[in-house]
Amino acid sequence: MAVNEIDVKYVAYLARIALTPAEEEKLGAQLGQVLGYIEKLKELDVTGIEPTAHAVPLVNVSRPDVIRPSLSHSEAMRNAPAQANGLFMVPKIVE
């Protein structure tokens, strides 16, 4: 994908990042470079190769349905910028 095809503003919106016009230009160019590497892969002939969801040749990895200890409440809340009533407090959620 060429640089001018990337909607940098939209990608920034999806990622909830505010960018200055200068940053938009810089990051747009960098994203273009990254996608350029991917373009290179298109040169490979993949006829007859099944698309894969995973590179590791393993399937059916699971665990038994057993309860294990959770974190203590205080440990769980250690990263919370704000807390009240045992809850992680966040800016008011508006739907």
Partner 1 sequence: MEYEAVIGLETHVQLKTKSKMWCGCANEFGAPPNTNVCPVCLGLPGVLPVPNEEALRLTALAGLLLQGDIPRFAKFDRKNYFYPDMPKNYQITQYDQPSTINGQVEFELDGRLTRVRLTRAHLEEDVGKNFHFDRSSGVDFNRAGVPLLEIVSEPDLTSADMAYAYLNALKDILIYGGISDCDMEKGMVRCDVNVSVRPKGQKELGQKIEIKNMNSFSGARKALEYEIPRQIEVLQKGGKLVQETRRWNDVAGITESMRTKEMAHDYRYFPEPDLLPMVPTDAWLAEVRQRVVELPLARKQRFMRQYQLPVADAETFVNDVPLGSYYESIVAQTKSPKSVANWVINNLRAKLTETQTTLADLKFPATAIPELVGLVESGQISSKTAQEVFAETFATGESPAQVVQKKGLLQVSDTGAIEKFCDEAIAANPKSVEDFRAGKGAALNFLKGQVMKLSKGKANPARAGEILEQKLKG
Q: Which residues bind partner 1 (CB under 8 A)?
A: 14, 16, 53-54, 56, 58-71, 73, 76-77, 79, 82, 84-93, 95
d(CA 35, CA 39): 6
- Nearest distance from residue 55's CB to partner 1, in Å? 9
Measure Cα distances from 8 to 17, 24, 57 in Å.
Answer: 11, 6, 36
Which residues are CB-neighbours of 90 under 8 A, at least 6 positions away? Answer: 82
Taking the least distance from each CB to partner 1, the nearer of 43 and 95 is 95
Give the nearer residue to partner 1 in terms of CB position, either 22 or 93: 93
- Least distance (Å) from partner 1 to the CB of residue 1? 15
